[in-house]
Amino acid sequence: MAEVIKPELTEDGKVLRKIRSFVRREGRLTKGQEQAMNDCWPTMGIDFEEKQLNWTEVFGNDNPVVLEIGFGMGASLVEMAKNAPEKNFIGIEVHSQVLVLV
């Protein structure tokens, strides 16, 4: 007989989703992606440093931060940000050349 596993819940009763796995993207960036990286990184990127980020400094406010891992072309991330302006959104793409959007 199969065992029934009940999901773990948050304090407000929502199902706690756990990270199962991810696949690193190893392909090369297209010319358009490379151009976007060059054009947008100064205002939307975060350079890696071996220290904890201070989200208040990064965003200029103390709103809650939502992390999206593997945001693809970014359309859903932009839509989420438009629909929840009271939150800060950050996206991390699982790619050998990691792209972070704020």
pLDDT digits (tens, 9 = 90+) for 55-83: 999 999 999 999 988 877 788 899 999 99
pLDDT for position 5? 63
pLDDT band at 4 (very low <50, low <70, confident <90, very high): low
Q: Domain ranges for the chain, please list them.
A: 31-101
Q: How far apart are CA 64 and CA 80, in angstroms?
A: 13
Cβ-proximal residues to 62 (8 Å cutoff; 6+ apart), any chain: 55, 56
100 has a pLDDT exceeding 70 = no
Measured in residues, the chain has a length of 102
22 has a pLDDT exceeding 90 = no
CA atoms 72, 46, 66, 18: torsion sign: positive
Is residue 45 within 8 A of residue 102, CB to CB? The reply is yes
What percent of the chain clears pLDDT 90, i.e. is strictly above it? Answer: 28
Q: Rounded mean pLDDT of the chain?
A: 79
Q: How far apart are CA 70 and CA 42, in angstroms?
A: 21
Question: How far is Cα of residue 86 from the mean position of the Cα atoms in its chain?
Answer: 17
